[in-house]
Amino acid sequence: MVEVEAHVVNIKNAVAADDKGLLKPPLKRWQDDACSQMVFGLSAVRAVINFKWDRSVGSLLGCAALCCAGATLLLRVESLGALQF
């Protein structure tokens, strides 16, 4: 059995960039001490953060980790003298 979790955020352009999205207004208010950091614990805000992480930063970090692992492997093989450049 596969367990699936889904969140529906019924806010137009919730994941949009800049001031059009859901994250910028509460972030500005929090930076101005006008609201608590608990606003980022709201399910709609967490769903947007998770979506943005999964779509951009998470995949970039995965690619970066894969590239670093490949480079490390290449350098180790080269240091053993197995490759001739």
> Quick check: is 33 in a domain?
yes
**Position 44 pLDDT exceeds 60:** yes
Q: What's the predicted TM-score (pTM) here?
A: 0.55
> Quick check: is 14 in a domain?
no
> Quick check: is 65 in a domain?
yes
Cβ atoms within 10 Å of 22's Cβ, excluding its own: 21
> Quick check: is 1 in a domain?
no
Indicate the number of domains in the chain.
Answer: 1
**Domain assignment of residue 49, given as a range:** 20-79
Share of the chain above pLDDT 90, in %: 11
pLDDT tens for each residue of 62-75: 888 889 999 998 88
What's the rounded Cα separation, in Å, for the pair 23 and 39? Answer: 10
What's the rounded Cα separation, in Å, for the pair 24 and 30? Answer: 10
> Quick check: is 11 in a domain?
no
pLDDT confidence of residue 31? 92
